Chain A
Amino acid sequence: MKILSLFCGTDTYQKQLERIRPKLYRVAFSWSHNAALADDLVQETLVKALKNFRQLRDPAQLNGWLFSILANCWRDHFRQHRDMEDIDALEECHCAIQTTPEDEHAQSQIVSKVWDAVAKLPVGQRQVLTLVDLEEFPYIEVAAILSIPIGTVMSRLSRARQSLKTLLNELAPQQPGQVSQIRRII
């Protein structure tokens, strides 16, 4: 029976992976702000997860395990593009979004403003922020996913939110000056 369940279990496992795919994609997109790259990163993550599925001892840890693979894939992506990105300054690296007329038009929307602000955060801070806010991982799990101490998670998150607040204030359209009220003069 155990042997049979080994064969049957693979399909369930694959279905579980497909269910988590949108979550992985959302986080990958929030890190890269590039749909194609995010899709590639997720695919690579899932392929690695399928290849190494025997390494996962506790199925309850599947989510965290997948996100740690995603974080490694993201790191590998930076290593492979060393000529374009400075891996030594990964924590402080900034990723600018290329702006198009459409993007500029959408600037007025809150979603674009948040994307712009998040994209301006250093990669390390961006990763912590999105794992906590989007996937609601506990700090301890974020620390395990990114292989960093929990204190670093807390300080990065704090700095990320501080910067995000400042950036969103900067990106917000200037408040128009006080419009003088029309007064009736009797």
Chain B
Amino acid sequence: MINNQEISDEHLNSFVDNELSLDEQSEIFNAIGRDEALKERVCGLRSLKEMVQHAYRNPPAYRVSPINKLNNWRPLNMLNMPSLSACLLLLLLGWGSGWIMFSGPMTTNTSKILSLFQASQSNDIAEQGNIIVHVSNSNPVRLQTALDETENLLAAYKRDNRQVQVEIIANASGVDLLRSDVSPYAKRIELMMAKYPNLDFLACSQTINKLQKSGVIVHLLPHTGIAASAVEQINKRLQQGWDYVRV
């Protein structure tokens, strides 16, 4: 016959969690009937267990965000292969026909944009070249690359006494580049603007509005312009014959 003192906490927990065999359970039930203190220990453990269950029954803010839904994502090995093949075929067809139709002008334009920064250093670019640089990402490495390349370009033009107008337009998270309280390059931008009067920085007002709606107070760097919309500005400049570089 066992009594309260002989039953360890671990054993009693096993009893509460239904981990004991029927014989062991009967033994404890008998002991509980004889011993009030043991009964109290068991009640205490049971009420603790119930309290924990109650406390986490409805955890707060369980809301699956749209991007966290599994329906939108499957690993490659789970995709339906026939559908995947059909999609790939369609994609190839589309790409092929597009390439055939626009191979001439597109190739020239694309390669020009891609090699724009490099070309500037080898003086291959036209005498009068206006460039709009689009920054839509707040990755510091990209921001630094954008500033480095723009500065190299402006320095090269200045050295050769050639005219160039450069606009750096930021939207989405790229606006961080121009926010005085967030930008890691505030001082550098200020120096660049002082050094190169032909360089302008513009922020997209739609992005600013979005940020302000979400409660973020946006302070832009001094002398930063605001464009009604980055896309509109880029489109306008492209129509005016500017070259477009996206960083």
Q: Note all chain B residues with C-beta closer than 8 A to A54.
A: 77
Interface 9-mer from A21-29, A68-76, A173-181: A21-29
What total of chain B residues lie within 8 Å of the partner, measured CB to CB? 34
A165 contacts the other chain (Cβ, under 8 Å)? Answer: yes
Q: For chain B, residues 34 to 79, give those with C-beta under 8 angstroms from any C-beta of chain A.
A: 44-45, 48-49, 51-56, 59-65, 68, 70-71, 73-75, 77-78
Other-chain residue from B44, B45, B51, B68 in contact with A43 (beta carbon distance below 8 A)? B68
B14 contacts the other chain (Cβ, under 8 Å)? Answer: yes
Other-chain residue from B19, B60, B75 in contact with A138 (beta carbon distance below 8 A)? B19
A114 with B55, Cβ < 8 A, contacts A17-B70, A50-B74 known: yes
CB distance from B55 to the nearest CB of A (A): 4
CB distance from B83 to the nearest CB of A (A): 10
Q: Note all chain B residues with C-beta closer than 8 A to A168.
A: 48, 51
CB distance from B10 to the nearest CB of A (A): 5
Give the distance in Å from the alpha carbon of A30 to the alpha carbon of B59 in the complex: 8
Is B48 within 8 A of A134, CB to CB? no
Is A7 within 8 A of B52, CB to CB? no
A90 contacts the other chain (Cβ, under 8 Å)? Answer: no
What total of chain A residues lie within 8 Å of the partner, measured CB to CB? 43
A161 contacts the other chain (Cβ, under 8 Å)? Answer: yes
A46 with B59, Cβ < 8 A, contacts A114-B52, A165-B48 known: no
Other-chain residue from B8, B9, B75, B80 in contact with A51 (beta carbon distance below 8 A)? B75
| A positions within 8 Å CB-CB of B | 7, 10, 14, 17-18, 21-22, 25-26, 29-30, 35, 38-39, 43, 46-47, 50-51, 53-54, 110-111, 114-115, 118, 129-130, 132-134, 136, 138-139, 154-155, 157-158, 161-162, 164-165, 168
